Homo-oligomer: A and B are copies of this chain.
C-alpha cells in the first residue's frame, strides 16, 4: 500500500537486537592533516566504547555511510559553512542509520563510526519511494541531487536543443545533473577520466557523447562533440578542463562553478579566463548548495518521481566495511569513483 499514511510510518524492518549491542565500536579519526589528495595514512581506526545517548540524543547504528568531497575541506579547515576537523577527531560524515531503540531508518550525521549518539532534532527520515533503494537519500535524492537540481533548474537552465557539458559527469552530482539536462531537452556531453567512465556516461546515464580528459587529444574530442559550441557547463573538475570548455562557449552560455577539486585537495588554484567569458557574453555562477535549501520540497517531489518512474538512474560506488572508508575517500577525491560513494558499514538485511 503506497498511501501517504503508509509511506510516512516509520519503517521498522530489520530491527536490531538490542540485547546484542556490543560494548565497543570502531571509529575512524583524522591522524594528520592531508597534504593534497587524502591517503589512507591520514586516517586512523580506533576502538572506543559505544557512545551512550545524552539528553535529547538517540543512539543510531551506521549502516550506509556517505563520503562527500566537502569533508576534504573540513580536514584542513577550509570548507564553506562547516567547522574544521582537527587531528584526533572523528571524521564527519552523513549516513543512512537505524535508531537502535526503535529500528527507524534515518539520515544522521554519524561520522565515520559504527554507532553514534546524535541529537534527535537533527534526524530526518530515510524514506524513499517504493522500489527506490534507501541509499538514494544520500545521492540523487540527497545533497548531491539537490546540488544538481539547483544547478540545472535555477542557474544553468538548459533549453531544448542546448548543448550542455558536465564534468565529473558520472559522479554523484554530475550523473544526476546530466540526466536532468537531458530530460530538459538538452544534448548532453560528459567529461570524465578514463574510457570506462566514458562508457558508463553514454550507456547508463544517457549522455550523447563522452570525452576522456586523460586523452591527450581531449580538446579535439570536445570540439567534435560540441560542433555548435557549449551553451551550458557544470564545472566540477580541474582548471585545465575549465579552460578547455570555456574556449568552446557559445554566445550566451551559462557556466556553473560547482566543485573545485584543486581547491578541495589544495593542489592548485583554479582560474577562469576572463577573455572567454567576455567573448561569449557568458554568465558564470558560483554554486553552494546550502543557499538552495528552499528548493528542497520541489526537488524531493520532482526528482523523487523521476527516480521512482525509472526516468532518472542511480549509480553507486559501494565499498564494504568501515575500514574501506579511507581508501574509498582517496578514490573519491582523486576522481576515480563512478556514482555516489557509499561505505556499507553494517549489513542491511532489508535492502
Residues 222-256 of A, flagged 1 when their CB comes within 8 A of B and 0 if not, give 00000000000000000100100000000000000
Q: Are A260 and B278 in contact (CB under 8 A)?
A: yes
Determine the chain B residues whose CB is within 8 A of the CB of A273 once the complex forms: 269-272
A346 in contact (CB, < 8 A) = no
A4 in contact (CB, < 8 A) = no
Determine the chain B residues whose CB is within 8 A of the CB of A283 once the complex forms: 283-286
Given contacts A269-B273, A272-B272, contact A257 B286 (CB under 8 A): no
CA gap between A260 and B80 in the complex, in Å: 30
Q: Are B291 and A281 in contact (CB under 8 A)?
A: yes
Residues 254-292 of A, flagged 1 when their CB comes within 8 A of B and 0 if not, give 000100100100000111111101111111111110010
| Closest chain B residue, CB of each to CB of A285 | B283
Determine the chain B residues whose CB is within 8 A of the CB of A239 once the complex forms: 274
| Closest chain B residue, CB of each to CB of A279 | B80
Q: Are A274 and B242 in contact (CB under 8 A)?
A: yes
| Closest chain B residue, CB of each to CB of A249 | B286
CA gap between A277 and B5 in the complex, in Å: 44
Determine the chain B residues whose CB is within 8 A of the CB of A260 once the complex forms: 274-275, 278
| Closest chain B residue, CB of each to CB of A260 | B274
Interface residues in chain A, defined as those with a beta carbon under 8 Å from any beta carbon in chain B: 80, 239, 242, 257, 260, 263, 269-275, 277-288, 291
Chain B proximity of A210: nearest CB distance (Å): 24
CA gap between A242 and B273 in the complex, in Å: 12
CA gap between A283 and B256 in the complex, in Å: 9
Determine the chain B residues whose CB is within 8 A of the CB of A285 once the complex forms: 277, 281-284
Q: Are A281 and B275 in contact (CB under 8 A)?
A: no
Determine the chain B residues whose CB is within 8 A of the CB of A278 once the complex forms: 80, 257, 260, 263, 286-288
A-B pairs with lowest CB-CB distance, top 10: A271-B271, A278-B286, A284-B284, A270-B274, A272-B272, A277-B286, A281-B286, A282-B286, A257-B278, A263-B275
Chain B proximity of A178: nearest CB distance (Å): 21
With beta carbons under 8 angstroms apart, the residue of B272, B275, B281, B286 that contacts A279 is B286
With beta carbons under 8 angstroms apart, the residue of B271, B275, B281, B288 that contacts A274 is B271
Determine the chain B residues whose CB is within 8 A of the CB of A279 once the complex forms: 80, 286
CA gap between A291 and B279 in the complex, in Å: 12
Determine the chain B residues whose CB is within 8 A of the CB of A274 once the complex forms: 239, 242, 257, 260, 263, 270-272, 286
Q: Are B269 and A275 in contact (CB under 8 A)?
A: yes
CA gap between A274 and B286 in the complex, in Å: 8
